Structure 1
């Protein structure tokens, strides 16, 4: 028998069905109340705050679909179960797409209804446990994949928590490498869409000729090379969350089509005459000042205002250096799992060096630095000896130009691959000083390239222009040398 404290509201306009369901549900140990139509049901939902609402679909004054929508706007989360007459199953499925927990056809099968109520009650308990766990993590400076206890990060965590349950668009701004994608993932993970897809697309990494196809999809024959029908990112993220990173790099014509999709919740694939409904939450991100981008003509003003329902401004890492320690410890755990290492933590001397650095590449640069150190150490505690040569010293990060004649050579390597496009990141570089041996320069270049490719040895070998076997031999040689030392 379910807890007598669990409350169920029955909304049904037919008198006998309403009284029968109320008695049946009460017999299973629930506290039950009833309402004669959607309007009365909404009033009782507000005042009584049930855990579960069982509602008919067709009712006077306010039908079940509108009731579902209005309940979704309430601060109290309720599981809505839709009752459907014969021939209304399609409408019930649509209701589930809009957030209903489940549906059951009439005449009601008592066994099935009891099972649905039981499962809904258990789901509610699971959600409460997840929320409690999340609250405990947040008290220790953790929100999903994000870490930080500085005032700036606490404020950002609070905003994410407030807006995540809604479906409103969010614009995330901040310098490159500050963790804008982590914000989007946290918004997704804390929303009702968390079990649905999270799709991220970098607008700057897709050629202008392909971006509409990538985002909206295309039909077979829509253009030369379109050999089959293909779903775009919107359809891939159906019922989930779509991150449009570097939105300011999107062509203006594509921005106009995106605005229409956001307003109409329908899209038309390239080459199609049919509009397809989409249910996707859109989070956009940019490292540009969006207002300047609008004034410069890089971003449509109407699209900016449509996306900027909420704005989350990510601070550069240099403005919250007190979080470096916690972020680095979290990264060590991630790198240990990824690279099968057993690093235990950071020595105080290394921590002081990290906290005294200004991090022009922000969290991304910190991640690259920690990943390099973990790979080099393999186990034990990370120390200053695992940092790049001259890390944190004056002049450590000069611009990627020739400096002082031939005294410094800056060799830039590929930082990451996003959607198959090469992007250059100045923080991924090898600084080779005069007096450095060729073997040491080669070792730094190989290890940095491995960091940039997330330890993808095949891709690293391709970038370096050597065979995979040669790369494996080099890594074995470095490993043996480390053991000897």
Structure 2
């Protein structure tokens, strides 16, 4: 887990706390934020680190097979069961099990899972005798668990059984100050993998990355940096090394000229306006780019008597995300 932003430091602190226990953990966050990595980090720092770690994506397993995947089956338990098979709980015995996208598991299966967590015993399909198990469970979801409960996607009793620790991983757009550290981390990783010698990242490249929306979060950033490292012909990544879909059309215009003798308030005002335009009117991204809190940005906007209409700057040449000439 790489970063220094408040949001990621809070998540890391919870990971470190959870690692000292064997309590269940719920990990939430958008797709690509690193939920599986967080679960693995807890396991690797826990007393169970030398025991098995098993992960299963509940959304990827057909409903007809999920019980067998979790609890195993005996030979002849159903058509095609030509041998006995251990499920995820048996394979993870003594260690940890990640149930990814748990809200995609049907409610009746969640009820069986709750019984297993409470009794610490499983029954293979087709078996007559249950087995004791000792497994620490991580449950992950890219949905809000509270909303999933309201929608009937997550049983409330199962939620309360799992909700000892809850770790929420922030989307990349809310932690843009971590971009340089993340990029450097991935550069080092892919230098080793692809026998490259990239030494750093240019400001134009960093500006383009900061202006991107990152719907795929850290997973998307990792993929973009890998492609850039492979394509880069020099020792410094530049914007032209990035995949075209990762470069905003206005990234090349992300500069303006400050004339000697300009008043400081005028420069600050112009910088705020242009950064808002650069960020497409998104104040959260603009405040991250400017290195100030959102409240501070709002105060500045009020001070300069900037009014907004339908989310766009009103009465300014850079409204609707268009930059003026430098």
Q: TM-score, normalised by structure 2?
A: 0.73
- Residue 227 of structure 1: CA displacement? 1.0
Residue number in structure 1 paired with 2:23: 168
| Aligned counterparts of 1:337 and 1:235: Cα–Cα separation in 2 | 36
Return the match for 1:341 from 196, 220, 226.
196
Match of 1:282, SS state, is strand
In the superposition, relative to structure 1, how do residues 337 and 198 fare at CA in structure 2: closer, same or farther (>3 Å)?
A: farther
In the superposition, relative to structure 1, how do residues 156 and 271 fare at CA in structure 2: closer, same or farther (>3 Å)?
A: same
- The one-character-per-residue Cα deviations of 1:369-412 (angstroms, maximum 9, x if unpaired) are 1121122237622221111125332599xxxxxxxxxxxxxxxx
Greater share of strand residues, 1 or 2? 1
- The one-character-per-residue Cα deviations of 1:132-181 (angstroms, maximum 9, x if unpaired) are xxxxxxxxxxxxxx101111111111111112110110000111111111
- Residue 188 of structure 1: CA displacement? 0.6
Do structure 1's residue 288 and structure 2's residue 131 form an aligned pair?
no
Residue number in structure 1 paired with 2:44: 189
Do structure 1's residue 354 and structure 2's residue 209 form an aligned pair?
yes
Do structure 1's residue 276 and structure 2's residue 131 form an aligned pair?
yes
Residue number in structure 1 paired with 2:92: 237
- Residue 208 of structure 1: CA displacement? 1.0
- Aligned residue-pair number: 251
Residue number in structure 2 paired with 1:127: none
Residue number in structure 1 paired with 2:162: 307
2:224 touches 2:246 (CA, 8 Å); kept in 1? no
- Residue 218 of structure 1: CA displacement? 0.9
- Residue 285 of structure 1: CA displacement? 0.4
Match of 1:262, SS state, is helix
Residue number in structure 2 paired with 1:367: 222
Residue number in structure 2 paired with 1:133: none
| Aligned counterparts of 2:241 and 2:166: Cα–Cα separation in 1 | 38
| Aligned counterparts of 1:247 and 1:390: Cα–Cα separation in 2 | 32
- Residue 353 of structure 1: CA displacement? 1.7
1:343 touches 1:378 (CA, 8 Å); kept in 2? no
Asked which structure has the greater CA Rg, the reply is 1
Give RMSD over aligned pairs.
1.7
1:341 touches 1:379 (CA, 8 Å); kept in 2? no
Q: Could you list the runs of 5+ residues in structure 2 that have no partner in the other structure?
A: 252-326
| Aligned counterparts of 1:242 and 1:390: Cα–Cα separation in 2 | 36
In the superposition, relative to structure 1, how do residues 305 and 272 fare at CA in structure 2: closer, same or farther (>3 Å)?
A: same
Return the match for 1:251 from 103, 106, 119.
106
| Aligned counterparts of 2:240 and 2:18: Cα–Cα separation in 1 | 43
1:342 touches 1:378 (CA, 8 Å); kept in 2? no
- Residue 351 of structure 1: CA displacement? 1.6
- Residue 321 of structure 1: CA displacement? 0.3
Q: How do 1:75-94 residues align onto structure 2 when only pairs under 5 Å count?
A: none
Q: How do 1:47-66 residues align onto structure 2 when only pairs under 5 Å count?
A: none
Q: TM-score, normalised by structure 1?
A: 0.50
In the superposition, relative to structure 1, how do residues 299 and 381 fare at CA in structure 2: closer, same or farther (>3 Å)?
A: same
- Residue 324 of structure 1: CA displacement? 1.1
